[in-house]
C-alpha cells in the first residue's frame, strides 16, 4: 500500500490586497488643492470681502489662516499620513475618539449629498450655454417682456423697472426654469422631481463614478485637468474683464476699505468660517488622501503649498468676478452694490447675466460653467474618497477591484436616489449653500464639523511623530513646528471656540430664510437634528470605548486612551504593511 500523504491542511484566507499609494507627489498636491479650491472660493470669498470692509477683510482672513487654518490642516494631514488609515481606523491611536471618525463620515456623506446637486445645476447651465442667444439673456424671445432695451449716451442699457417686484431675466430663468420654486408653496410642498435636473444629477454621479473607478490611480490622473483648468479660466476672465468698461469700478468696490469693520465680531467669524470651509478641515477628505502618502513625505511643506495656494486663488478669483460685475453695473447705470450677490445668487443669477452682456456670450458662459463643474468635481473627489477609504480600512477584504467597484457603485446610486429630494421644486431651499455655516437647514456639513478638531491631542508627542516622518527635518521645519505647537496648545482652540459659539448664536438667534421665504419651525428643527446627530457620535463613540474596557472608570479611561496593539510602528510603515504588539509610545519615543 502506498504511504499516506500528509494530512490536509486547513485553507488559510487569502491576504487582503495592499493599500494603494500615490504614483507621485504632484498627484497628491493637485488632489488636495483641487479638494480645497471649490465653489466657495469663487462665489463666497469675493462677496465676504465686499460685505466686511473690502481689503480690510484680508487682514482678518490671513490672521485666521495663520492661527487656525494652517495648524488644523497640518494636524489632519499628519494624522492621516502617520497612521496610513482612513477617518475611522486612524483612531486606533486613541479608541476613545473613534466617534470623531464616524462624525467625519456623516459630515462627508451629507455634504456629498447636496454638493453634487450644485454640479447638476452647473451641468444644466452648461448645456443651456450652447444656445444663442443665451436663454437667460434679454435677447431671448421669451424674455422680451422682462427687458426693455433703450440707448443712453451710446450705451445699451437694460431699463430696470421702478417697480419693487421687478426681477431680471436671469433670475426668472433660475427660479422657474431651473429650480421651479415658484410652483411650490413652501417646505411642506416639495412637488414632483424636476426630471431635467434629475438627468443632470445622474450625469454628475456617473462622472464621479468613472473618475474614481480605480481609486487614486484614476482620480490622480484626472486632477491634472480638473485642478488646473479653473486657474486657466480665472486668468482668462481676469484678462477679459480688465478690457471692459466699468471693470475698475467693480475692482474698486471689491477692495474698498472700511477699517471700522475690524471691530465687528461678524468680520472675524466670517473669516474663520471661510478658512475652515475653504480648506475642507474636519470632513475626513484630507486625512484620507494623506493616508496614501509615503511615510517620509514632507507634510509641512505640502501644508504651506496647499493652504497658501488655496487662499491666493480665493483672492484672485475676486478680480475675475467683480471686473465683470462692474461692467454690468456700468451698462445698467446702477451702483455696483446693486448687482452683487452671494452663493448661488452670484454663480447662477448675477454672473451669468453679466456674461450675457459680453460679445460672444455663449463662449464665456461655457467656460464659466465648465469651471464650476471642475471645481465641484474636485471637491467631491476628496469627500467620496474619504467615505470609501473609511469603509475599506474597516473591511480590508473589499479592497479587490471588483468589490471596491461594487462599493463605489452602491454609494453613487444611493447618493443619487437620496439627492432626488433636492431636485424637486423645493430642492433649492433644502440645499445648504456650501461654505456658509448653518445656512438654510442648519448646515449638516457646517458648524458641527467645527467641534471635531477640538478633541484633545498630545501636542508634544504629535510633534515628535511629525519629526519621525520627515526624518531629515530642515531647520525651517523645526522652527515651523515650534509655531504649530504653540497654536495647537492655545491659539487654535481659542479661535475655534469663538467661531463655534458665535456661529451657533448667529444661526439660531434669527429665523432661517431663503430669500423672502421664512422656514417653518419644524424645518429649522430638522436642521438642528442633523447637526446634533453629527456631534453625538463623539460622546457615543467614547461611551462604547469605555464600555469595552474593564475596571474602574479611571482605569477604563486610561485604557481607552492607549493605542491598540494593531497600530502600525513608524519605522516599519514604509518597508512593509506590518503591525507590532508593543506599546505605541515606546515605538515612537525609542529614538529619544
Contact present, 538 and 455 (Cβ < 8 Å):
yes
Model confidence pLDDT, tens digit, residues 292-338: 998 888 899 999 999 999 989 988 888 988 888 888 888 878 888 77
What CATH number is associated with residue 322?
A: 1.20.1740
Model confidence pLDDT, tens digit, residues 26-49: 899 999 999 999 888 888 888 788
What secondary structure does DSSP assign to 310-351, as a single string?
HHHHHHHHHHHHHHHHHHHHHHHTS-GGGG---THHIIIIIH
Is 378 annotated among the ligand-binding residues? yes
Q: What number is the average pLDDT over the span 477-506?
A: 80
Model confidence pLDDT, tens digit, residues 522-539: 777 777 788 788 888 888
Is 37 annotated among the ligand-binding residues? yes
CA 99/CA 539 separation, integer angstroms: 7
Choice between 28 and 438, residue whose per-residue pLDDT is larger: 28
Q: What number is the average pLDDT over the span 420-437?
A: 62
CA 21/CA 305 separation, integer angstroms: 20
Range of the domain at 390: 25-149+166-561
CA 153 to chain CA centroid, Å, is 46
The rounded percent of the chain whose pLDDT value lies above 70 is 79
Mean pLDDT of the chain: 78
**Number of domains making up the chain:** 1
Establish if 309 belongs to a structural domain: yes
Establish if 17 belongs to a structural domain: no
Establish if 583 belongs to a structural domain: no
Establish if 576 belongs to a structural domain: no
Establish if 7 belongs to a structural domain: no
Is 304 annotated among the ligand-binding residues? no
Give the pLDDT confidence score for residue 290 in this predicted structure: 92
Asked if residue 487 has pLDDT above 70, the reply is yes
Is 393 annotated among the ligand-binding residues? no
Is 310 annotated among the ligand-binding residues? yes
Q: What is the pTM of this model?
A: 0.84
Is 41 annotated among the ligand-binding residues? yes
Model confidence pLDDT, tens digit, residues 209-235: 999 988 888 888 888 898 899 999 999
Model confidence pLDDT, tens digit, residues 113-152: 888 999 999 999 999 999 988 999 888 888 777 775 444 4
Establish if 578 belongs to a structural domain: no
Q: 513 φ, ψ to 5°?
A: -130, 155
Establish if 580 belongs to a structural domain: no
Asked if residue 433 has pLDDT above 70, the reply is no
Least trusted range by pLDDT, from 102-106, 437-441, 541-545: 437-441
Asked if residue 275 has pLDDT above 60, the reply is yes
Give the pLDDT confidence score for residue 288 in this predicted structure: 92
Give the pLDDT confidence score for residue 458 in this predicted structure: 65
Give the pLDDT confidence score for residue 567 in this predicted structure: 63
Establish if 58 belongs to a structural domain: yes
Least trusted range by pLDDT, from 34-43, 108-117, 178-187, 368-377: 178-187
Contact present, 363 and 113 (Cβ < 8 Å):
no
Amino acid at each position: 500500500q502506498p504511504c499516506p500523504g500528509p494530512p490536509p491542511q486547513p485553507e488559510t484566507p487569502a491576504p487582503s490586497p495592499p493599500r494603494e499609494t500615490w504614483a507621485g507627489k504632484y498627484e497628491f498636491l493637485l488632489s488636495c488643492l483641487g479638494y480645497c479650491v471649490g465653489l466657495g472660493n469663487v462665489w463666497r470669498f469675493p462677496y465676504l470681502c465686499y460685505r466686511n470692509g473690502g481689503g480690510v477683510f484680508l487682514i482678518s482672513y490671513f490672521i485666521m489662516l495663520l492661527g487656525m487654518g494652517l495648524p488644523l490642516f497640518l494636524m489632519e494631514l499628519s494624522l492621516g499620513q502617520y497612521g496610513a488609515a482612513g477617518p475611522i481606523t486612524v483612531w486606533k491611536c486613541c479608541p476613545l475618539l473613534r466617534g470623531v471618525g464616524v462624525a467625519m463620515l456623516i459630515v462627508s456623506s451629507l455634504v456629498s449629498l447636496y454638493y453634487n446637486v450644485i454640479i447638476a445645476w452647473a451641468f444644466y447651465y452648461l448645456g443651456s450655454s450652447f444656445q444663442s442667444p443665451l436663454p437667460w439673456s434679454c435677447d431671448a424671445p421669451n424674455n422680451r417682456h422682462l427687458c426693455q432695451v433703450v440707448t443712453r449716451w451710446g450705451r445699451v442699457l437694460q431699463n430696470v423697472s421702478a417697480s419693487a417686484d421687478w426681477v431680471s431675466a436671469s433670475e426668472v430663468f433660475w427660479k422657474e426654469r431651473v429650480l421651479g420654486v415658484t410652483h411650490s408653496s413652501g417646505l411642506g410642498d416639495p412637488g414632483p422631481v424636476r426630471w431635467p435636473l434629475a438627468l443632470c444629477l445622474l450625469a454628475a454621479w456617473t462622472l464621479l463614478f468613472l473618475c474614481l473607478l480605480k481609486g487614486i490611480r484614476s482620480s490622480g490622473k484626472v486632477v491634472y485637468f480638473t485642478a488646473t483648468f479653473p486657474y486657466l479660466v480665472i486668468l482668462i476672465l481676469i484678462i477679459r474683464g480688465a478690457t471692459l468698461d466699468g471693470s475698475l469700478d467693480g475692482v474698486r468696490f471689491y477692495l474698498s476699505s472700511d477699517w471700522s469693520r475690524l471691530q465687528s465680531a461678524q468680520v472675524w467669524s466670517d473669516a474663520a468660517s471661510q478658512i475652515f470651509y475653504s480648506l475642507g478641515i474636519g470632513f475626513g477628505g484630507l486625512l484620507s488622501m494623506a493616508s496614501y502618502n509615503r511615510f517620509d513625505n514632507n507634510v509641512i511643506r505640502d501644508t504651506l503649498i496647499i493652504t497658501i495656494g488655496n487662499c491666493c486663488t480665493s483672492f484672485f478669483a475676486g478680480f475675475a468676478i467683480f471686473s465683470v460685475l462692474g461692467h454690468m453695473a456700468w451698462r445698467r447705470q446702477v451702483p455696483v452694490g446693486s448687482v452683487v450677490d452671494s452663493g448661488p445668487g452670484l454663480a447662477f443669477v448675477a454672473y451669468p447675466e453679466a456674461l450675457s452682456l459680453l460679445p460672444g456670450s455663449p463662449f464665456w458662459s461655457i467656460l464659466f460653467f465648465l469651471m464650476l463643474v471642475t471645481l465641484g468635481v474636485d471637491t467631491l473627489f476628496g469627500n467620496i474618497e474619504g467615505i470609501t477609504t473609511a469603509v475599506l480600512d474597516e473591511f480590508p477584504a473589499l479592497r479587490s477591484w471588483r468589490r471596491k467597484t461594487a462599493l463605489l457603485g452602491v454609494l453613487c446610486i444611493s447618493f443619487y436616489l437620496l439627492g432626488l429630494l433636492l431636485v424637486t421644486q423645493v430642492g433649492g431651499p433644502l440645499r445648504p449653500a456650501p461654505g456658509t455655516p448653518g445656512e438654510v437647514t442648519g448646515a449638516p456639513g457646517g458648524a458641527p464639523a467645527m467641534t471635531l478638531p477640538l478633541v484633545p491631542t498630545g501636542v508634544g508627542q504629535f510633534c515628535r511623530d511629525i519629526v519621525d516622518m520627515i526624518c531629515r527635518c530642515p531647520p525651517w521645519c523645526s522652527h515651523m513646528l515650534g509655531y504649530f505647537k504653540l497654536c495647537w496648545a492655545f491659539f487654535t482652540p481659542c479661535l475655534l471656540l469663538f467661531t463655534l459659539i458665535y456661529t451657533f448664536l448667529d444661526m439660531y438667534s434669527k429665523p432661517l430664510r431663503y430669500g423672502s421665504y421664512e422656514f417653518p419651525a419644524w424645518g429649522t428643527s430638522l436642521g438642528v437634528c442633523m447637526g446634533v446627530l453629527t456631534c453625538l457620535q463623539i460622546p457615543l463613540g467614547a461611551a462604547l470605548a469605555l464600555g469595552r474596557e474593564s475596571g474602574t472608570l479611571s482605569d477604563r479611561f486610561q485604557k481607552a486612551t492607549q493605542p491598540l496593539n494593531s497600530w502600525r510602528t513608524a519605522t516599519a510603515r514604509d518597508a512593509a504593511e506590518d503591525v507590532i504588539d508593543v506599546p505605541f509610545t515606546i515605538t515612537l519615543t525609542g529614538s529619544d
